[in-house]
Each structure stands twice: as structure tokens, then as C-alpha cells.
Copies of this chain bind each other. A is one copy, B any other.
Amino acid sequence: MDSIEAYLAEITAAIRPLPAREMPLAGAVGAVLTDDVTALHPLPSFDNSAMDGYAVRAGDVAAARSDQPVILAVAGEVAAGDTRRHDLLPGSALRIMTGAPLPAGADAVVPVEQTDGGTERVAITQAVTPGSYVRTVGGDAQPGDLLLSAGTRLGPVHVGLLAAAGHGAVTARPRPRVTVIATGDELVEPGGQLMPGQIFESNALMLAAAARQAGCAAVQYPIVRDDTDLVLAAITDAITNSDLLITSGGVSMGGEHDVVKAALSSLGTVRFRRVALQPGMPQGFGTVGPAATPIFTLPGNPVSAYVSFCLFVRPAMDAMQGLFRERTKQAPATLAGPVKSPAGRRSYLRGILDPEVGTVTPVAGQASHQLANLARANALIIVPEEVTSLEAGTSVEVMDLP
């Protein structure tokens, strides 16, 4: 039986980050930079006004007071986006709008609130110093300044900054493309009609949504029946446009019905093993196809599949995006009820964490098919391998569910 740490180490050693590629900014939110981005041009790229007001020479208005305004001739107006050259003659003012380029000769802006707002002549009631209300060229970033560091997962402000700095596109690691394949003769598409002995497919839907939450572009493959050739065909088909495959089901101990195990005996490097984990003991990981596409074969029990996803698949997805340090948060809490755990396996029990009080209440049903109980939980209670039971009041480590 593999330890959780050994299995995870094997996974992260095998995963290669996706190569970066150029992508438009609007599609780059969530992508991860592979290189530092530095400013090519100064930001702002020209001196401009921080306020609506009047561009002046500070020296011309040095004597301005509310009871003794300085009167200047208004020689014209500069709007934002005005691309003409404007010159400010000594002793005059130019009306100027926020963001408009500072005219040659001007060294300050008087906000309209400190004037009478005149259009031909303006009375200025307060002195300004050189540079007042001017956004200086390069005042936000100078050429060569670091704008964004390698490893940044691009958020809204980051793409805004890239745009402002003159980038129409960015080179970053794309979102991993993930296909989720659910196998099983018992499965019926959600919303269909069940015959006795059948259940609705829910794992592929859940895992594809979880993959999207982890920053991937994920699709569900149509349900694959318990036939080794069909499973093989589905995997071979899906790897053509996937960076990562996830299967669900077909990996238990029952021999001929373990179609995922059977299919992958003839394809790829997947090693099936038991991991010292509850739920989610049967695990398979390896690579398939010409591009050595990573594949996880998750158990069909929905709670096992989801816990496995959180512990193993999500870190792999982070690694594919070059995010090696992003881990789900773990913190101590006090058990509000007793728990049991099998000897020799680390349990991740479903619990309801109250972060205000610092308690975690185990949900009533902890079996690995009890999806309704997982849906009630917001955290996993971690019970170490050597512990088989814990009383209420014990301090435990708890992992937030995403």
C-alpha cells in the first residue's frame, strides 16, 4: 500500500508544466505567466492632468489667494485624447481635462474647484507648486520596471495592467484541457429514466466542474459502457485534445468488470495501486498516448472520487499550470463529535467547519457513496494513519473543501 505522500510525489514528479503560448488578454485571466513582464514604455507615457482644471506655469499663479485671485487669459482647451501639440504662453492658461496631455511650457494644473471656471479669462484663487495635479511620465512604471512576476496567475488587474502597458497579447501557460470519462453499465445520463439497478451519472459532471474550478478547460465524455474496447477507444479519442484525462469507475477488485484497468493494461504506463487513504484506496496514475498524457483513474464512488480529486488531481492541475505552491489550506479545529478511521489508512472525513467557533462537526454518514453528506460538508477532517478513533473535543487538522 502506497502512502499518500509517496503517491503524491510520484504524481508531481511525472507532471510537466504545460508550455506557454501567446494568448489574447481577454482569454488570459487564470493563465500563469512563465516569465517576468517588464515595462517596455513609461507608464503613463506622457505628462497629463490628474484633474479637470487649467494648465499653468506654477510661477504665474504663485501669488494667487482666495481674496486676491490671479487672472490669466484662457488660450484654449486640451481634452483627453487630444493628439495635437499645445504650447502654453507665459501669463496664460489652457483649460485641461483629466488625462489630457500637459501642454509644452506648463508645469502644473489648477483644479477647476480652485478657480472661477472662466472660459476666456480665469480667476485662480490658490497657488500651486510645480508638478501639482500632474501625472508625470513614468510615474507608475519606468521602462524596465518589473510589472508582473513569473508564476503570477493572471487576475483582472493584471490583464488591465498588461493592456495599459501596451501588450495586446501575453505569453502564459494555458488552462489545461481536461476530459472526464465516466464508465459503467449502471450509469444513465442525468434527467433520463432509470431501470432497477441503474443510477444517474454524477461523477463526470462533478469532476469536470471541479476541474474548471481548478482553472482548467474541462469537458465530459459521453458515458462509456463496461467494455474494454469501448473504454480504450474513448481514451484514445480523448487524448487527441486533452492535456489530462480523468476516468471514474472500473478500477475495483472484481476482475473482468474492471474495464478501465483492463484497457490500460494494453496502453500507457498507468500503475494501479492501493493508497493508505479512506475514502479512495484504489488509485491509478500514469501516462497514455504519444504525448504521454497524464491520466488519473479515480474510483467510481462519488465521495472517493471527489476526495481523490482534491488530494491528487488538483495538485497535478496546479503543477501543469506551474503553480507548485498552491495547496488547499489546512488548519486545526476541535472535533464536535467522535470519529472512527481504519487502522493504517489516513481518513478524510466529511465535516462542517465553523471557522468562527473553531469546531468541526462530522456529518452523520461517512460512507463513500454518501454524496448528499459530502454536499453538506465544507471541510475534510484528517485522521492520521495510526489513529482509529477520536473523541469529541480532540484537536484535528481540517482541510477546507474548495
Contact = CB atoms under 8 A, between A and B. Distances in A.
Contacts of A141: 372
A100 B369 CA distance: 13
A13 interface: no
Contact of A198 (B81, B112, B252, B402): B81
A43 B226 CA distance: 23
17 contacts: A25-B205, A26-B220, A52-B252, A52-B257, A79-B226, A80-B184, A80-B197, A98-B301, A140-B367, A147-B375, A148-B375, A155-B209, A157-B374, A160-B209, A160-B302, A160-B371, A167-B190
Contacts of A212: 29
A166 interface: yes
A290 interface: no
Which of A185, A190, A194, A196 neighbours the largest number of chain B CB atoms within 10 Å of its CB? A190
A145 B365 CA distance: 14
Contacts of A84: 197
Contacts of A226: 79-81
A110 B112 CA distance: 86
A391 interface: no
A185 B81 contact: yes
Nearest to A141: B372
A157 B253 contact: no
A310 to B, nearest CB: 10
Given A164-B302, A199-B99, A254-B112, A139 B370 contact: yes
A121 interface: no
Contacts of A39: 372
A200 B164 contact: yes
A169 B140 contact: no
A166 to B, nearest CB: 6
SS of A interface (majority): loop
A97 interface: yes
A36 B312 CA distance: 32
A253 B113 contact: yes
Contacts of A157: 206, 306, 371, 374-375, 401
A215 interface: no
A184 B98 CA distance: 11
A73 interface: no
A88 B97 CA distance: 88
Contacts of A62: none
Interface in A42-64: 43-46, 48, 50-52
A374 B140 CA distance: 10
A89 to B, nearest CB: 20
Nearest to A43: B372
B254 A140 contact: no
Interface string A71-85: 000000001111111
Nearest to A80: B186
Contact of A97 (B99, B155, B254, B401): B254
A77 to B, nearest CB: 9
A135 interface: yes
A163 interface: yes
Nearest to A84: B197
